[in-house]
Structure 1
Amino acid sequence: MNPATMAWGLVLGLGIVLVASWMGARRATLDQRLSPQLRNHRTPGSSGPLPARSLVERMLAPAMRDGVKVVARWGSPTQELEVRLRRAGSALSVDQFRAEQVVWAVAGLVAGLLASGVLVSARGSSPLVLLFLTVALGLGGFAARDYALTQEVARRESAMVAELPTIAELLALSVGAGEGALGALERVVATTSGELARELSQTLAQVRAGAPLSEELRGLARRTGASGVRRFADATATAIDRGTPLAAVLRAQAQDARAEGRRELMEQGGKKEIAMMVPVVFLILPITIVFAVFPGLVAINLGG
């Protein structure tokens, strides 16, 4: 049998299995059939007209719900995912993020099928290799969305650490000028921008709603994974609770943040220096040796 025919038959069989499993999953259970009759009031999804959505959304909604359930079972735990989304400053809910993971995985599967079709038409590759390629690209799309979230968290927390010394100095100046902790926070939030300023704005909004400032600062420390921001928030909250001179504490935190930034720069420089050794040792040095030795070898051969 032609390998191309085998590959296309394998793809067709996989599609039939997926459609059959999807249709079986969409079969209503007894609870779903009885629940509308047991409700005394109308609730969304129980009865009445469907919300205004496009035909494509209505067709894909059941499959999307099934995909989200699969991702919820095999993906990151809900609580951990909520923490990561909050650290990334994302407005997405857990279900929305998992729906995006499903979309990325489907995009990977489609890319795998297209690549398999091209390989079959051009080279007649093995069906098992094509199946492995398709599944690998689907899993890669699923993992890529999770990796993108991790990168968003890292970029946001790096920006917060970079903004911390400036904001701490501004707070220290405001407190030293005679303003209270809340007034200094309002002034700094109104005159600055950035990731840390947005976090402080959320803290200020909770304080205006009636929450204690020290508790909200500790909440800021819990929301972030940046160690410098956690130390700053905890130290400021402790100073407010104990009545310690706040300006001195803020200046000390600014100095610590700048020192930590210098240490991180030194560490990054050391890592870059080690990474630069790879092309030097494996590319430049061998070429240099060839240029140094080759003329001597040529002279020896000519002399012989």
Structure 2
Amino acid sequence: MTVWTQLAYAVVLGGGIAAGLLLVATRVPRWAAPSLARRLAPYLRDVTDPRGVTPVAALPAIAWRRRRDALLARLGGAEALGVRLRQAGWSIDAVSFRGRQVAWAAAGVAIGAAAIIALTVTGRMTPFAGILPVVAGALCAVLCDAHLAAAVARRQRRMHEELPTVLEFVALCLAAGESLRDALRRVGEVGSGVLTDELRRAVLASDTGSNLAEALQEMADGVGLPTLSRATDHIVAALERGAPLAQVLHDQAADAREDAKRTLIEQAGRKEILMLLPLVFLVLPLSVLFAVFPGVVMLRLGIG
């Protein structure tokens, strides 16, 4: 047994013991009583200090949050990441997503380390296997970002599909004599899609003091869908100029359907090219092989 094998066994056994001790420690009841500041803070927060009384036990957590926010600000990209999270419909902030990404990277490093231990125990360890933890960690971090990008694309695709139906429904409610706010509220109550959820939030924002046009514009800017932004711009312009909203929504629904049809034709063209790949690289070589192989066998056997 080599030194590396002994080290691998030591890491496995030590990790198991540490995991068991951590599990036991998490189940041990807390014997220490809360501090006096922590017990009095909920009752004195609104009396002594408008900003609240900070318990002494919470100071390390607050310091950690400040350092974490400062590190994220130095890294940059917090605003763009926040926009992407808003487009994906996730309720977490940029700091929480970075924490999740770090957790994914740590899990990748752990998987790479486990692979190195397995290779060492089986005697297949090579010098190039030492970079497995770094590669696995970077790959998991990239996969976390790719998961966010896929969520954004999936949500925007669903909104793009729901937009014509929602606009037609709103136009129908307007033609029946309802106001725009009531029509949007009805669509939000009846519908169950992603776009109806956004409309429900916009109506709620308008009910709590915001202007309806500003709420719709903020919704379109947060979603980042070009067709929805164009339809929202036309609705806001119709509200400001007093144009008939029903006709405007009918026109926008027709434009959205034409855009969806054009997108579907483009996707069909790309899929047609992809369908040629198995035909060229699988079906045609097999056909040629079936046509040529019998003749080659007959020539080798000296028949004919």
Cα gap change, 1:160 to 1:231, in 2 (>3 Å): same
Say yes or no: does 1:80 pair with 2:80: yes
Cα gap change, 1:204 to 1:63, in 2 (>3 Å): closer
1:28-50 C-alpha deviation (Å, 9 max, x unpaired): xxxxxxxxxxxx97988965234
Say yes or no: does 1:125 pair with 2:132: no
Please state how far the C-alpha of 1:299 moved relative to its aligned partner: 3.0
1:193-237 C-alpha deviation (Å, 9 max, x unpaired): 111011111111111122222222221221112111111111111
Alignment of 1:142-153 (within 5 A): 142-153=141-152
Say yes or no: does 1:159 pair with 2:161: no
Cα gap change, 1:62 to 1:285, in 2 (>3 Å): farther
Say yes or no: does 1:106 pair with 2:114: no
- Aligned match of 2:253: 254
Higher RCO (CA-CA < 8 Å; seq separation 6+)? 1
Please state how far the C-alpha of 1:292 moved relative to its aligned partner: 0.8
Please state how far the C-alpha of 1:72 moved relative to its aligned partner: 6.1
Cα gap change, 1:259 to 1:252, in 2 (>3 Å): same
Cα distance in 1, alignment partners of residues 284 and 68 from structure 2: 52
- Aligned match of 1:266: 265
Cα gap change, 1:47 to 1:64, in 2 (>3 Å): closer
Contact 1:236 1:246 in 2 (8 A): yes
Letter in 2 for 1:294: F
- Aligned match of 2:173: 174
Report the 3-state secondary structure (helix = DSSP H, G, I; strand = E; otherwise coil) of the residue aligned with 1:49.
Answer: helix
Letter in 2 for 1:80: A
Say yes or no: does 1:224 pair with 2:223: yes
Cα distance in 2, alignment partners of residues 64 and 207 from structure 1: 33
Please state how far the C-alpha of 1:168 moved relative to its aligned partner: 0.3
Please state how far the C-alpha of 1:121 moved relative to its aligned partner: 2.2
Paired positions, count: 268
- Aligned match of 2:45: none
- Aligned match of 1:93: 93
1:138-178 C-alpha deviation (Å, 9 max, x unpaired): 11111211111111111111111111111100011011111
Query: What TM-score results when the alignment is normalised by the length of structure 1?
Result: 0.77
Cα gap change, 1:287 to 1:65, in 2 (>3 Å): farther
- Unaligned stretches of 5+ residues in structure 1: 12-39, 52-57
Cα distance in 2, alignment partners of residues 85 and 62 from structure 1: 25
Cα distance in 1, alignment partners of residues 5 and 188 from structure 2: 65
1:112-137 C-alpha deviation (Å, 9 max, x unpaired): 1001111222243223x223111011
Report the 3-state secondary structure (helix = DSSP H, G, I; strand = E; otherwise coil) of the residue aligned with 1:91.
Answer: coil
Cα gap change, 1:44 to 1:282, in 2 (>3 Å): farther
- Aligned match of 1:235: 234
- Aligned match of 1:136: 135
Cα gap change, 1:158 to 1:235, in 2 (>3 Å): same
Contact 2:88 2:152 in 1 (8 A): yes
Cα distance in 2, alignment partners of residues 278 and 259 from structure 1: 30
